[in-house]
């Protein structure tokens, strides 16, 4: 598995002579497993043709904020939500200034304003422009917004000057991006997370289950690993690949999920219950396939154990996070579960909406703890997972 595996990266190319190096950056990002979409400013298209970047990235290059056709295909807000990381390389003095001041006169600057992805900027300009107080103050302003600045290289410039301001070498840019995703917020911590549905057998061929895809739990497991945690992912049956670096324990029923959780949390620091555990199971599981006979068939069900509340009650040292899928009175019902199940935090989502939640790639949730309720806006599950990991790291006290 490569260092930028499955990362969605927008490469924003602005109009400097180093724009041609965008082609090599696309290739190197792809070599590391990233999926790359390219956005160019109008000036950048004077230095390198969009067709070159389209051929390399395999996707249409986005250039125009006011192109109705392009916006209908994948508009600026969709692009902004899609990305895990926005890399501006090369970033001209002018574009950096636009970022600082929040201008939105181009597709790229609009995407910058609309995204909650990580932002990396690789400046490239004449050495005198780079050293100018205005440029340096702009760089400081971006650093203050948690922007990663990939410092320019020093050497002979296209204009003949010698000094700092050359676009950093593509392999160094890519190495620095890899480091961004290995943030170390939870380094040394063991996290156990449940994900996906459970299946409760009725007979050898039938079961009770639900629509959970496991996507949110798997995205969280990937984000936790990225943050340096040792992750045990206890998963019900899903159609997803295990995130790189996690220990995967596959289970089917709620009982099996409980047993695996009890064993895994013994030396853990954090337990996250993202699984959609079936609330009930059959009292008797038939040994043979139940035959179709009477018009009505009754199935007696009994309650499954509540995994998260059992784990929280028996392991007071653990930091425990649950999920609440609600269709109404979301905060009130979620807060009730927070208290009743002895959780430190609960992530509430509205499962009545079609565009988010079960099976969707996007989600929109609220983080609720004893003191606060923070609404995390609609974004991809992998971006949300990173936001949730940051909140866990900020609230976990151990």
Residues that bind ligand C5P (CB under 6 A): 254, 273, 275, 277, 279, 304, 306-308, 322-324, 337
The sign of the torsion formed by the CA atoms of 78, 82, 84, 87 equals: negative
Helical ranges in 186-320 per DSSP H: 215-226, 254-264, 307-314
3-state secondary structure of 155: strand
Nearer to ligand C5P among residue 108 and residue 192 (C-beta) = 192
Q: How far is the CB of 282 from ligand C5P (least distance, A)?
A: 15
Contacts of 58-65 spanning 24+ positions with Cβ under 8 A: 62/37, 62/38, 62/107, 63/39, 63/107, 64/107, 65/104, 65/106, 65/107, 65/110
3-state secondary structure of 212: coil
Q: How far is the CB of 304 from ligand C5P (least distance, A)?
A: 5
Nearer to ligand C5P among residue 121 and residue 308 (C-beta) = 308
Helical ranges in the chain per DSSP H: 22-31, 50-57, 68-74, 76-82, 93-101, 107-114, 127-131, 133-143, 170-180, 215-226, 254-264, 307-314, 330-340, 381-395
Number of residues written out for the chain: 398
CA distance 387 to 376: 8
Q: How far is the CB of 250 from ligand C5P (least distance, A)?
A: 17
Nearer to ligand C5P among residue 59 and residue 280 (C-beta) = 280
Q: How far is the CB of 341 from ligand C5P (least distance, A)?
A: 6
CA distance 151 to 342: 47
DSSP state of 46: G
The two tokens of residue 281 are 């199971």
CA distance 253 to 196: 11
Residues with a catalytic annotation lie at: 159
CA distance 14 to 62: 12
CA distance 263 to 123: 50
Q: How far is the CB of 81 from ligand C5P (least distance, A)?
A: 25
Nearer to ligand C5P among residue 251 and residue 254 (C-beta) = 254
Nearer to ligand C5P among residue 220 and residue 308 (C-beta) = 308
Nearer to ligand C5P among residue 23 and residue 260 (C-beta) = 260
CA distance 162 to 159: 9
């Amino acid at each position: 598995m490569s260092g930028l595996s499955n990362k969605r990266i927008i490469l924003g190319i602005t109009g400097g002579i180093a724009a041609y190096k965008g082609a090599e950056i696309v290739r190197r990002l792809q070599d590391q497993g990233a999926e790359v979409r390219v956005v160019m400013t109008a000036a950048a298209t004077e230095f390198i043709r969009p067709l070159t970047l389209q051929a390399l990235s395999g996707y249409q290059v986005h250039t125009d904020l006011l192109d109705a056709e392009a916006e209908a295909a994948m508009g600026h807000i969709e692009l902004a939500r899609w990305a895990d990381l926005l890399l501006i390389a090369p970033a001209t003095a002018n574009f950096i200034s636009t970022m600082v001041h929040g201008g939105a006169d181009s597709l790229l600057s609009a995407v910058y304003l609309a995204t909650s992805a990580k932002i990396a900027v690789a400046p490239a300009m004449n050495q005198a422009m780079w050293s100018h107080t205005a440029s340096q103050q702009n760089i400081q302003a971006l650093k203050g917004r948690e922007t990663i600045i990939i410092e320019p290289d020093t050497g002979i410039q296209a204009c003949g000057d010698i000094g700092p301001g050359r676009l950093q070498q593509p392999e160094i840019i890519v190495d620095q991006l890899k480091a961004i995703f290995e943030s170390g917020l939870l380094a040394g911590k063991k996290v156990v997370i449940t994900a996906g549905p459970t299946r409760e057998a009725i007979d050898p061929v039938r079961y009770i289950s639900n629509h959970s895809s496991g996507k949110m739990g798997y995205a969280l497991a990937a984000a936790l690993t990225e943050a340096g945690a040792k992750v045990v992912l206890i998963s019900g049956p899903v159609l997803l690949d295990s995130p790189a670096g996690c220990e995967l324990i596959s289970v089917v029923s709620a009982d099996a999920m409980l047993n695996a959780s009890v064993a895994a949390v013994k030396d853990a620091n954090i337990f996250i219950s993202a699984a959609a555990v079936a609330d009930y199971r059959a009292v008797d599981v038939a040994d043979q396939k139940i035959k179709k006979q009477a018009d009505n068939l009754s199935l007696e069900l009994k309650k499954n154990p509540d995994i998260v509340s059992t784990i929280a009650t028996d392991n007071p040292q653990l930091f425990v996070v649950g999920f609440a899928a609600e269709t109404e009175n979301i905060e009130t019902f979620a807060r009730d579960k927070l208290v009743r199940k002895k959780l430190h935090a609960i992530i509430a989502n509205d499962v009545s909406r079609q565009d988010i939640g079960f099976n969707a790639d996007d989600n929109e949730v609220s983080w609720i703890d004893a003191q606060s309720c923070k609404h995390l806006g609609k974004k991809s599950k992998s971006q949300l997972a990173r936001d949730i990991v940051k909140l866990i790291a900020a609230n976990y006290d151990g």
